[in-house]
Amino acid sequence: MTKIVFMGSPQYAEIILRELYEKFGVVGVITQPDRRVGRGGSIQPPPVKNFAMKMGIPVLQPTKLATEDVDTILSEWDPDVIIVAAYGNILKSKILEYPRFGCVNVHASYLPRWRGASPIQAAILNGDKTTGITIIKMDEGIDTGDIIKQKEVEVSKLETAGSLTKKLAVIGAKILVDILPRYIKGEIILEKQLSNNATYAGMIKKQDGLLDFLRRAEELERRIRAYNPWPICYFNWNGKYMKVYSVRVLKTHHLKPAQRGIIEKYPCIGTKTYDLQLKKIQMPGKQKIDGNEFLNGARGWAEKNGERINN
C-alpha cells in the first residue's frame, strides 16, 4: 500500500485531504500551527487539523520545517509520496527529495498562469474567464514543477474567492485521486512548464481590501469578489470602516468619484466610470445587512450636494 503524507492548511486543502483519505488513507498530516483569529483573538486550528483529528490521523504543526522533529516524524511515517495543497510555506530540497515519488502539489490555477500564494484571487481580480487546477511534481521553484495533469475551469461573473476555492478544491481532489495510482506506477508522462508565459500572484495583506473610488467600477467590483471572504474590502465613512461584501455596477454615472448618493433605494458611490451600488455591507460591531436596510438608520449618507469619502 502506498504511504501518503498530506501537507496543507486552509479549507481548500481540507476538501482535498478528505477525498484523499477516503480513497487511499493518509499516514500523517503536516499543517500550520494554530493561530489567533478575529477581533476576539481566539486561537483556531487550521481546517486540515480539524479533519485529521476527527479521523485519528497523526498531526504535526511545526513552526519551521527544517527541524529535527520534522525529520524524525517523517522517518517514522516513511511516506512514498507527499501531497501538498496550500500548505503556506516553500518546501526545501530535503523534504522534496524525501519520498520515493516526490512531492505532488494540487495548485489552484492553470499553470504557468498565476504561480504563487493567491492564484484564486488573482484570477478574479484580473477578470479571467477561466482558471484551472494543475497537479505538478514539485521542485524548489515557486509552482514551477513538471505538470502531471491540468484541467481548465470556468470563472463565473458572480464568483467570489470563497465560491471559486470550493469549486477548484472539489475538482482538484477528484483529479488527484484519479491520477495518483497511475502517477505512482510511472504511467504518466510529465510535461514541462513554459515559464516565459508565467504570471505571479503575491501574498494578500489586509490593507489590500481598501477601496479607491478613483478607480473603475468594474475593477472595484472584481476586487470585492476577489477579497471575499478575506480580507473583505472596506472604506472609511464617518471615521469607521464599512466592509463591502457585494456590489452592483450600474450603467449610470450620476455621482463623481467617491461621491455618495442613493440610487434605486440603495447606497451608491461614484467611481471613475460608473456608479457602484452597495448591495451587502457591514459596519463595525454590527451584522452584515442589505444596503437598503442600512439606509434606514444611516443619517447623512447622501448630503444634498453629495460628499467625497476620505480613505
Q: What is the pLDDT of residue 307?
A: 47
Mean pLDDT of all residues belonging to the chain? 94
Q: Which amino acid is at 43?
A: I
Q: What is the pLDDT of residue 193?
A: 96
Whole-model pTM: value is 0.94
Per-residue pLDDT tens over the stretch 162-210: 999 999 999 999 999 999 999 999 999 999 998 898 999 999 999 999 9
Grid cell for residue 238: 464617518
Rounded distance between C-alpha atoms, residue 1 and residue 89, angstroms: 28
* 227 to 121, 123, 165, 284, 311: CA distances (angstroms): 7, 11, 12, 18, 18
Per-residue pLDDT tens over the stretch 226-264: 999 999 999 999 899 999 999 999 999 999 999 999 999
pLDDT band at 299 (very low <50, low <70, confident <90, very high): confident
Grid cell for residue 183: 502517477
* 12 to 64, 113, 141: CA distances (angstroms): 22, 19, 22
